[in-house]
């Protein structure tokens, strides 16, 4: 690599693993470069390689597909990874400092302990499956103060911790970009992520069409910006409605989500990374859940007073729909200003930079909890 400051990032993104793992690691990698680190991604398959190389500006990083890797069996690749790390230590570069960051739900305690004698390890966690024996543990859950001791107790084997939503590693487009609260609500974003298995968007439009628009929203003109994900089975129906309904704006293949969000005064969103992004911009929002892995985050944002959760779309679709309408009707300027302040305090978009700064300190042996 020709440098004494190197970080390997081991992650994947393929039909079985959400691409969000690659994206958040990519955001961290960009910030690591600003601290003078050379970054090399390690992936297990061609799909992960292709996804990573398709991200704009990814050509500034090295990407290596491990020959013995399986995305769901990290222990299998250990001999190859150990050989790679040992070869870096054998170069003529003196005082080489190497970090190894892992973002995979399939990591094992054996995998982490096997690397600890060769390199300083970092793990990006969502699940708290076990007590990870690493030098640095990152978990950017929204963590209420009363739960912080529980998180720290769960990570006793980690030498250093970065905990809380301020470490959310968002894309560069969400960094240093606060959107002021508008005087009135004119544009509303609706997003369900990559798919819409419970047809929220269609049901929402049907609710507006079969109700008196003036009764719902008064005389103000409101436009609904619906993001159609790549796996949305209702795509054709939505575009057909978009040709008939003047209040509907449809968006597909959105590369700059931050700019679209910035045009909107409110948002209704499925829980997930999007909630962190909305907080970073300060766009008042309502969330709903439609998968088990969204429940904890939606509840945490709700309890923090940042983003109210309307409920579980799988269990109470009519209730979620009604609360979404009420949310729009009752979003006064003062309510939106209060939500904006809490959201921005919780997530300001600089999480990737904070993580990179901690990685820099860890590499220089200066990190402190």
Mean pLDDT of 87-104: 75
Q: Which residue ranges does the chain devote to CATH 3.40.50.2000?
A: 5-173+349-363, 177-346
Q: What percent of the chain has pLDDT over 90?
A: 78
Superfamily (CATH H level) for 5-173+349-363 = Glycogen Phosphorylase B; (3.40.50.2000)
Query: Rounded to whole angstroms, how far apart are CA atoms 60 and 74?
Result: 26
Helices (H), 41-193: 46-53, 78-89, 109-115, 148-154
Mean pLDDT of 44-59: 90
The pLDDT of residue 44 is: 96
Residue 14: pLDDT band (50, 70, 90) is confident
Q: Rounded to whole angstroms, how far apart are CA atoms 121 and 238?
A: 46
Give the residue ranges of DSSP H helices in 116-156. 148-154
Q: What is the pLDDT of residues 258-274, one digit of tens each?
A: 999 999 999 999 999 99
Structure tokens at 195: 């798919």
Cα-only R_g, the chain = 22
Determine the pLDDT at residue 97: 85
Q: Which long-range contacts link 334-337 to residues 24+ away (Cβ below 8 Å)?
A: 335/284, 336/181, 336/182, 336/185, 336/265, 336/266, 336/284, 337/181
Mean pLDDT of the chain: 92
Give me 328's structure tokens. Answer: 């729009």
Q: How high is the pLDDT of residue 197?
A: 94
What's the pLDDT band for 367 if we cut at 50, 70, 90? confident
Entry pTM: 0.89
For the chain, where are the alpha helices, taking DSSP H only? 20-34, 46-53, 78-89, 109-115, 148-154, 200-210, 213-217, 235-242, 257-262, 273-281, 295-303, 317-329, 333-346, 351-363
What is the rounded distance in angstroms from the CA atom of residue 322 to the CA atom of residue 325?
5
pLDDT per residue as tens digits for the range 211-240: 766 666 666 689 999 999 888 999 999 999
CA–CA separation, 96 and 89 (whole Å):
7
- Please give the average per-residue pLDDT across 18-40, as a whole number: 93
Strands of the 62-65 sheet, one edge to the other: 62-65, 38-43, 5-11, 97-103, 120-124, 136-139, 160-163
Q: How far apart are CA 11 and CA 20, in angstroms?
A: 10
Distance, in Å, from the CA atom of 302 to the CA atom of 135, rounded to the nearest integer, reads: 32
Buried b (16+ CB within 10 A) or exposed e, 202-235: bbbbeebeeeeeeeebeeeebebbbbbbeebebb
CATH number, span 177-346: 3.40.50.2000
Q: Which residues are bridge partners to 11 per DSSP?
A: 103
pLDDT tens digits, residue range 272-318? Answer: 999 999 999 999 999 999 988 899 999 999 999 999 999 999 999 99
Mean pLDDT (whole number) for 56-80: 94
Is beta strand 248-252 parallel, antiparallel or unpaired with respect to 266-270?
unpaired
CA distance 302 to 69: 39
Separation of alpha carbons 297 and 118, rounded Å: 35
What is the pLDDT averaged over residues 96-100? 87
Q: Which two tokens stand for residue 87?
A: 């070869």
């Amino acid at each position: 690599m020709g440098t004494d400051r190197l970080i390997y990032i081991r992650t994947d993104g393929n039909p079985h693993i959400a691409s969000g793992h690659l994206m958040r690691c990519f955001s961290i990698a960009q910030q690591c470069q600003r601290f003078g680190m050379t970054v090399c991604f390690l992936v297990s398959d061609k799909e992960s390689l292709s996804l990573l190389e398709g991200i704009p500006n990814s050509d500034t990083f090295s990407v290596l597909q491990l020959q013995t890797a399986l995305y769901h069996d990290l222990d299998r690749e250990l001999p190859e990874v150990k050989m790679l790390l040992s070869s870096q230590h054998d170069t003529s570069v003196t005082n080489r400092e190497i970090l190894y960051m892992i973002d995979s739900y399939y990591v094992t305690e054996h995998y982490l302990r096997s690397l600890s004698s060769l390199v300083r390890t970092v793990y990006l966690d969502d699940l708290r499956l076990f007590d990870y024996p690493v030098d640095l543990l990152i978990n950017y859950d929204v963590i209420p103060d009363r739960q912080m001791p529980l998180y720290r107790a769960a990570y006793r084997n980690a030498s250093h911790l970065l905990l809380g939503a301020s470490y959310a590693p968002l894309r560069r487009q969400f960094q240093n970009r606060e959107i002021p609260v508008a005087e009135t609500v004119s544009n509303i974003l609706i997003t369900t992520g990559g798919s819409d298995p419970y047809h929220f968007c269609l049901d929402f439009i049907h609710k507006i069409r079969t109700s008196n628009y003036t009764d719902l929203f008064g005389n103000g003109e409101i436009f609904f910006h619906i993001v159609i994900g790549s796996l949305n089975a209702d795509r054709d129906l939505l575009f057909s409605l978009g040709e008939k309904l003047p209040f509907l704006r449809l968006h597909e293949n959105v590369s700059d989500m931050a700019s679209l969000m910035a045009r909107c005064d409110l948002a209704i969103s499925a829980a997930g990374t999007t909630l962190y992004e909305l907080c970073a911009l300060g766009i008042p929002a309502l969330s709903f859940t439609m998968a088990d892995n969204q429940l904890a985050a939606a509840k945490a944002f709700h309890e923090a007073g940042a983003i109210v959760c309307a409920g579980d779309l799988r269990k109470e679709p009519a209730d979620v729909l009604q609360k979404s309408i009420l949310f729009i009707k009752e979003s006064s300027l003062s309510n939106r200003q209060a939500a904006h302040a809490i959201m921005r305090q919780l997530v300001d978009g600089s999480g990737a930079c904070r993580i990179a700064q901690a990685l820099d300190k860890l590499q220089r042996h200066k990190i402190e909890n």
